[in-house]
């Protein structure tokens, strides 16, 4: 259900200067118990041949660790900083023979105990299926949540395999026919249902949604069914709005609250059809629309009109999060003690998510793209045609599906992420190929489907023409002192309030994004930098004097960020303190100063939210509120603030004292 932020891949930590270093030679299967102090780094060395696959874990018993991997030349080739407790998994593929070093340090100078172990060290598989087996190592075994992967070519399944466990309580293995929550991958099914009803003349995509839901507010701007399908309605996104109240999104949610939330919305967030903003509200309404026009519950209608005709026998719509789903996978995450725990599905997800399906069934669904047994080719074409905004700009989204370019091929895809479950369905129409992945683990690698596509379809893929230069500049000699003019804070233009701060410590160049750990960067030229351990690059747009007012992040596209200059003093921050209340969502936040920084608190949210200055009266923070903009009256007094978090924009909070 969640639309992953483009910066998530930058969640990597890099070790800074340490006063103590301990080195240990290790071998596969050797488990080492150890303790870290705040100023220590532990080195574990192992000699490996080239073209080897290595996998291991640092079990975080009472300390959050960061694992860095250095190649025989001492170059950083990987950095791993995932959960704060439990297993910190790491892996690498060796490119040369020699001694590789794993550096382990504590996150944010914490202290505590951990264990270190290299579990797998073996030649890199050459057969595609066995290579996938290696990728799936973290999700394999009888004591871990599992996963499944399937690959298709020319309508045939050429690889299908399941790993790990569907249920840890009862030792039930994950199978290729295990029904699994596919999260937002469900949206294409909801869109398909609406298009079938349009074909039958029961509705038109250009109908005003208020024709069917007259209780929705009239904003003097027509919101159509097509706007809901294309994420261009202007409605608030209900999950992000509820998160702003401090609500647990895994709690039960009555469907009627969707209408109540929209009734309280003071205005549309954008003119319908003029801005794309990923929105679960629209698809939840579409499920209710199916019920309205067919007089049949959405789960029942989908079963009779989609799943049964396609022989998707292990698929269903879960109408609520407490409904029994026979043989389903249970969702798992890792708690603060490092143990697996069961997680509940999102409340009110039906339509935007809520479908349980097996990878075997999703293969049948993919076949319907190329050779429709339900619907027709025109319907599929409409779903997979990018929507054009009123401005004339083309989005990368059709009706319930993303349409993007992946290494030279057209890729039709949609991923899904409920509280714990993860999924991805991608189809390459030009070569009639598909990759499908599912998992019941919240920490599942979101890039897995792309990695599998790279393995099976390498001969069809090319590097994008617009990618920054790569290896040609890898040996560029850079004077780190020149970076001083580039240091500072840069705000992402498409994610207001999300700031990346760049710093220099001697020859070490590093950065930190809002709410995320530090990451290291390496100069490829005087303006182009790579993000160490991540497939991402940064281009600073240099002025004549070597400074920069903006940069572009190259990661799944190009993303502009503008340099910020406002640095408020403590007395400036005091004016923002107080209590603030939103009538729209009936929620209170308190703002105070903590260790010289502005923070905000809500009694339902465990941790304080730090407010990072962006520009005067504007601050960035972290979910559930990523941007806070304070409002003043004519006398210059602060009267309140508007809060946004990407999908929900400008919810007003009035200052109470």
Say if domain 471-564 classifies as CATH 2.40.128.50.
Answer: yes
- Please determine, for residue 465, whether its predicted confidence score (pLDDT) is greater than 80: no
Do 570-655 and 471-564 fall under one CATH topology? yes
Q: What element of type H or E holds 287? A: helix 280-294
Strand-by-strand arrangement of the 156-163 sheet: 156-163, 147-153, 433-439, 422-428, 409-417, 402-406
- Please determine, for residue 2, whether its predicted confidence score (pLDDT) is greater than 60: no
Q: What is the pLDDT of residue 544?
A: 85
Contact 320, 252 (CB under 8 A): yes
Q: Within 419-540, where are the H helices?
A: 448-456
How far apart CA 546 and CA 95 sit, in angstroms, is: 36
Q: Within 464-510, where are the H helices?
A: none
> What does the domain layout of the chain look like in residue ranges?
1-124, 180-234+269-460, 471-564, 570-655
540 forms beta bridges with 551
- Find how far residue 216's CA is from the centre of its chain: 31
pLDDT digits (tens, 9 = 90+) for 21-45: 778 999 999 999 999 988 889 999 9
250-267 average pLDDT score? 88
Q: Give the C-alpha distances (Å, rounded to integers) separating 621 from 491, 498, 599, 626.
A: 12, 7, 9, 4
Name the band, by pLDDT with cuts 50, 70 and 90, for residue 469: very low
Q: Tell me the three state secondary structure of residue 539.
A: strand
Contact 522, 529 (CB under 8 A): yes
**Residues 6+ positions from 85 with CB-CB distance below 8 Å:** 60, 64, 334, 335, 336, 337, 338
pLDDT digits (tens, 9 = 90+) for 360-374: 999 999 999 999 999
- Ranges assigned E (strand) in 306-448: 316-317, 332-334, 340-342, 355-357, 402-406, 409-417, 422-428, 433-439
307-330 average pLDDT score? 96
User: Among 259-273, 444-458, 543-557, which is the least confidently predicted range?
Assistant: 543-557
Length of the chain: 657
How far apart CA 143 and CA 329 sit, in angstroms, is: 14
Record: fold of 570-655: Lipocalin (2.40.128)
User: Who wins on pLDDT, 110 or 11?
Assistant: 110
The model's pTM is 0.87
Q: Give the C-alpha distances (Å, rounded to integers) separating 167 from 181, 187, 322, 450.
A: 14, 26, 17, 26
| Selection from 89, 175, 86, 169 nearest residue 137 by Cα | 89
Give the torsion through C-alpha atoms of 527, 528, 532, 534, to 10 deg.
140
pLDDT digits (tens, 9 = 90+) for 195-227: 999 999 999 999 999 999 999 999 989 999 999
Q: What is the pLDDT of residue 20?
A: 63
Record: fold of 180-234+269-460: Beta-lactamase (3.40.710)
Q: Which CATH class is domain 1-124?
A: mainly beta
Strand-by-strand arrangement of the 86-93 sheet: 32-36, 112-123, 52-60, 86-93
């Amino acid at each position: 259900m969640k639309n992953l932020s483009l910066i998530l891949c930058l969640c990597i930590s890099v070790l800074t200067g340490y006063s103590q270093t301990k080195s240990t030679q290790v071998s596969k299967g050797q488990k080492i118990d150890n303790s870290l102090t705040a100023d220590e780094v532990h080195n574990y060395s192992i000699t490996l041949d080239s073209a080897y696959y290595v996998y291991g874990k640092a079990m975080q018993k009472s300390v959050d660790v960061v694992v860095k991997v250095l190649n025989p030349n001492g170059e950083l080739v990987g950095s791993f900083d995932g959960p704060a407790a439990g297993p910190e998994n790491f892996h690498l593929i060796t490119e040369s023979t020699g001694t590789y070093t794993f550096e382990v340090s504590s996150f944010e100078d914490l202290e505590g105990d951990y264990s270190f172990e290299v579990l797998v060290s073996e030649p890199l598989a050459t057969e595609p299926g066995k290579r996938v087996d290696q990728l799936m190592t973290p999700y394999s075994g009888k004591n871990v949540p599992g996963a499944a992967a399937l690959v298709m070519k020319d309508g045939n399944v050429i690889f299908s395999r399941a790993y790990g466990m569907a249920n840890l309580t009862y030792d039930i293995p994950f199978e290729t026919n295990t029904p699994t929550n596919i999260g937002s991958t469900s949206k294409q099914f909801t869109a398909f249902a609406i298009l079938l009803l349009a074909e039958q003349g029961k509705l038109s995509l250009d109908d005003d949604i208020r024709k069917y839901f007259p209780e929705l507010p009239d904003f003097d701007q027509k919101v159509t069914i097509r706007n809901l399908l294309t994420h261009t309605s202007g409605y608030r996104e209900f999950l992000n709005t509820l998160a702003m109240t401090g609500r647990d999104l895994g709690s039960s949610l009555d469907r009627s609250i969707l209408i109540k939330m929209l009734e309280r919305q003071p205005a549309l967030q954008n003119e319908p059809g003029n801005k794309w903003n990923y929105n679960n509200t629209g698809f939840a309404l579409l499920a209710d629309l199916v019920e309205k026009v067919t007089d049949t519950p959405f789960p029942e209608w989908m079963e009779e009109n989609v799943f049964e005709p396609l022989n998707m026998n292990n698929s269903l719509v879960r109408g609520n999060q407490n409904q029994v789903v026979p043989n389903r996978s249970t969702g798992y995450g890792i708690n603060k003690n490092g143990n697996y725990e069961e997680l509940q599905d999102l409340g009110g997800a039906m339509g935007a998510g809520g479908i349980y399906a097996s990878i075997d069934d999703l293969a049948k669904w993919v076949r319907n793209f190329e050779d429709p047994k339900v619907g027709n080719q025109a319907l599929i074409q409409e779903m997979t045609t990018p929507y054009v905004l009123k401005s004339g700009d083309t989005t990368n989204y059709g009706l319930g599906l993303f349409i993007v370019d992946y290494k030279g091929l057209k890729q039709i895809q949609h991923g899904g992420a409920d509280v714990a479950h993860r999924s991805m369905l991608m189809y390459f129409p030009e070569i009639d190929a598909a990759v499908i992945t599912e998992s019941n683990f919240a920490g599942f690698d979101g890039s897995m489907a792309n990695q599998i596509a790279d393995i099976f379809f390498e001969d069809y893929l090319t590097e994008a023409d617009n990618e920054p230069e790569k290896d040609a500049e890898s040996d560029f000699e850079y004077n780190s002192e020149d970076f001083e003019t580039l240091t500072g804070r840069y705000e992402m233009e498409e994610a207001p309030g999300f700031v990346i701060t760049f710093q220099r410590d001697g020859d070490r160049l590093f950065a930190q994004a809002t709410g995320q750990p530090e990451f290291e960067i390496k100069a490829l030229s005087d303006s182009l930098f790579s993000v160490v351990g991540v497939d991402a690059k940064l281009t600073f747009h240099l002025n004549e004097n070597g400074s920069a007012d903006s940069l572009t992040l190259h990661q799944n596209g190009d993303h502009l960020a503008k340099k910020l200059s406002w640095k408020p003093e403590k007395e400036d921050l005091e004016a923002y303190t107080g209590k603030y209340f939103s009538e729209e969502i009936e929620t209170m936040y308190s703002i105070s100063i903590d260790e010289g920084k502005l923070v905000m608190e809500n009694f339902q949210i465990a941790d304080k939210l730090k407010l990072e200055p962006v520009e005067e009266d504007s601050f960035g923070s972290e979910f559930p509120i990523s941007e806070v903009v304070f409002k003043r009256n004519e006398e210059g007094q602060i009267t309140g603030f508007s809060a946004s978090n990407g999908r929900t924009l400008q919810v007003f909070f009035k200052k109470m004292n």
